[in-house]
Structure 1
């Protein structure tokens, strides 16, 4: 991605203590409280809301009986490219808002910021600058993959650059890169610390149906390459969805099922003889439950996708820590589909488990965590899956080195359904 962006598309982030609605209380034209749909804001979300407040005003109060956009525009990636700057080196309060116990950036908060930035970029691309037409609703449909390439220090300034790299009829892919200097000082070079690809879909704000989005015209050679790669990923996702609908386990996969289940049966039927270096999947589980509050909603009145990722990440981190007995180190989030929206007042349950471990590389053992988000309605006796997240962790090398008795167990399924989940996830990792 071209990291150069025009100054007017660069957003500097400052620490926040007061609510945005009170920050301009002395202004003659105080912004309506409706423009700040909740007080659950990271500094980045706050800055992004400020940057697109005019668009938000239009979204909240569109013209009555306004027609949809009549003619699609053609935009370039540079028109939506936006940069976020975290002034960690000079802003002590901002550092404290993002610091984790190991003096690095809290990944959960960063995931929330990435979703907010991707949403801003999608709004920029889809805007037609015509206040007489009704705006589109843009929602997070999927996260293709998020990969951490290096530790992110909370003491060095951080930058996120993002832009639209591909569009379909009603979908948009946004690529984000998090960069940080390799060392402190004016001569330090920026290196990519994290990459992420978000997919948004457009809906007509009146009918709720899929709506066409502005076209994209890549200009540079790199932009053209990114467009082709994103188009290939989109075609692959479509094929995978079709394959999943038709999939049946063949004899080879049936044998894999039986192999995975063999040790689990020993645990269930002869626990005294079970392998002490293994553990049942069900014994690695943790769970959180919450009522979704108005403070966590977005401008459309629904729960932030970034908030869900934030909570899912922190549960997965706790699960990996509880399982391994050592401080985990995050590596990546695999593809996430947002299957259904989560509304204010929903009873949300997040259930996690260690799906499987990979122990071939003793220097970097892998812990694969699955987190499933359910919207539960006790009065209807129903529960629906809204998201399934897959996080991959290892353990911090410095912590591992200081623990000579370090050992990560093998995780085994006790049921056929658990074995199928493991096989499907392993196959997805292999094909990605």
Structure 2
């Protein structure tokens, strides 16, 4: 397991020029850029597991006979990143690292972490996550990966954790709302919410309890379109998945900020489906929608956002979904958000329930309401 270990240092303290590339509008660090490097690190970990600890270059996929992608299969579209502490202040070097903790037949669970370093040698873990990496043969189909050899009790424990992630992902795939109906409890929750917020025509319903402003889910949608250039390609001459992740994060953050009408704090990247590669020269359309809003004892608002990425056929106007991202942001303090996102159609209702499921399963939240 330890043979696949990779790390990269981001020298924010020692290099002002490097820091400038990652600085956001408020003087902090761009989280989307960090995600981009985390995805790259996970890819390096996967290739090191496949090619051996002494490998210095990946080479071409024609030379190797295989290539690695981030959760590209329709039944393995899962990863997660949780923000445990603020990246601020920015004048600290950060270490990104990871290694393979579980292997399936053609898939690898890669654990990643982001750690802040200080001059005294102390470390603070800022972000933990996992990527599901999939190995594919150049002639199509899956490609079998080497199985892990477990040398220590700690490695055996990590392996069981990785196995649990895989089993949980398979369970979520079997019970997805795109396959099975909502549970009776979910149907009751949706109906109760509809009676409270969705059955009236007026956008704002005055009441003694100060009913929050209703915002139709479809009215929260914002989007952007842009060309895909070769500068953002990966080793296989497709658009790098980490770059797509950054684009999605930044659009989702803008949407959550607009909805809350004040700055929000990132909590987690809950799920990504990389269903198809994005080609250089294609036109990508990203759409962001607020699919669930709530609160908890800890947070005055919790916002769950979907960002869908589609490749557009410019000759016909037809679109094909390539990626589906789910993010969660929150407001730490202040009064409860006086706005609720409300679904209007059955499809939106299923998205609302998907958001509810994600928040219920999010370890960084407590008692969502």
TM-score (norm 1): 0.74
1:333 to 249, 269, 282: 269
Give the drift of 1:204: 1.4
In structure 1, the partner of 2:141 is 209
1:177 to 95, 110, 113: 113
Question: What SS does the corresponding residue of 1:335 show, helix, strand or coil?
Answer: strand
In structure 2, the partner of 1:421 is 351
User: Is it true that 1:151 corresponds to 2:86 in the alignment?
Assistant: yes
Question: What SS does the corresponding residue of 1:178 show, helix, strand or coil?
Answer: strand
CA distance in 1, matches of 2:332, 2:22: 20
In structure 2, the partner of 1:293 is 229
Question: What SS does the corresponding residue of 1:256 show, helix, strand or coil?
Answer: helix
Cα separation, partners in 2 of 1:220 and 1:165, compared to 1, 3 Å? same
Question: What SS does the corresponding residue of 1:394 show, helix, strand or coil?
Answer: strand
Cα separation, partners in 2 of 1:85 and 1:215, compared to 1, 3 Å? same
Question: What SS does the corresponding residue of 1:295 show, helix, strand or coil?
Answer: helix
1:317 to 240, 246, 253: 253
1:237 to 169, 187, 190: 169
CA distance in 2, matches of 1:345, 1:107: 26
Give the drift of 1:217: 1.1
Cα separation, partners in 2 of 1:357 and 1:189, compared to 1, 3 Å? same
Question: What SS does the corresponding residue of 1:197 show, helix, strand or coil?
Answer: strand
2:151 to 173, 195, 219: 219
Cα separation, partners in 2 of 1:420 and 1:253, compared to 1, 3 Å? same
CA distance in 2, matches of 1:232, 1:362: 28
Any conservation in 2 of the 1:302–1:342 contact (CA below 8 Å)?
A: yes
In structure 1, the partner of 2:24 is 100
Cα separation, partners in 2 of 1:270 and 1:357, compared to 1, 3 Å? closer
Question: What SS does the corresponding residue of 2:357 show, helix, strand or coil?
Answer: helix
2:66 to 129, 136, 148: 136
Any conservation in 2 of the 1:126–1:136 contact (CA below 8 Å)?
A: no
User: Is it true that 1:228 corresponds to 2:160 in the alignment?
Assistant: yes
Give the drift of 1:364: 4.1
Question: What SS does the corresponding residue of 1:279 show, helix, strand or coil?
Answer: strand
TM-score (norm 2): 0.86
User: Is it true that 1:81 corresponds to 2:14 in the alignment?
Assistant: no
Cα separation, partners in 2 of 1:157 and 1:415, compared to 1, 3 Å? same
1:124 to 45, 48, 60: 48
Question: What SS does the corresponding residue of 2:337 show, helix, strand or coil?
Answer: coil
In structure 2, the partner of 1:265 is 199
Q: Which runs of 5+ in 2 are unaligned?
A: 72-76, 363-369
Give the drift of 1:407: 3.5
Any conservation in 2 of the 1:104–1:151 contact (CA below 8 Å)?
A: no
Cα separation, partners in 2 of 1:138 and 1:259, compared to 1, 3 Å? same
Cα separation, partners in 2 of 1:208 and 1:102, compared to 1, 3 Å? same
- Spell out, residue by residue over 1:54-87, the C-alpha distance to the aligned partner (whole angstroms, 9 max, x if none): xxxxxxxxxxxxxxxxxxxxxxx22111111122
More helix by share: 1
CA distance in 1, matches of 2:302, 2:184: 28
In structure 1, the partner of 2:339 is 409
In structure 2, the partner of 1:112 is 36
- Spell out, residue by residue over 1:241-280, the C-alpha distance to the aligned partner (whole angstroms, 9 max, x if none): 22336512455444333333342331xx344647553322
Give the drift of 1:218: 2.3
Superposition CA RMSD, Å: 2.4
Any conservation in 2 of the 1:257–1:420 contact (CA below 8 Å)?
A: no
Give the drift of 1:187: 2.3
CA distance in 2, matches of 1:237, 1:189: 34
- Spell out, residue by residue over 1:312-364, the C-alpha distance to the aligned partner (whole angstroms, 9 max, x if none): 00001101111111111101000212111111122211111211212233644
CA distance in 2, matches of 1:218, 1:103: 43
Cα separation, partners in 2 of 1:113 and 1:133, compared to 1, 3 Å? closer
- Spell out, residue by residue over 1:405-430, the C-alpha distance to the aligned partner (whole angstroms, 9 max, x if none): 77341211122221111112212443
CA distance in 2, matches of 1:251, 1:78: 45
Give the drift of 1:133: 6.6
- Spell out, residue by residue over 1:363-400, the C-alpha distance to the aligned partner (whole angstroms, 9 max, x if none): 44211111111122242442222222111111355xx4
In structure 2, the partner of 1:14 is none
Q: Which runs of 5+ in 1 are unaligned?
A: 1-76
Question: What SS does the corresponding residue of 2:19 show, helix, strand or coil?
Answer: helix
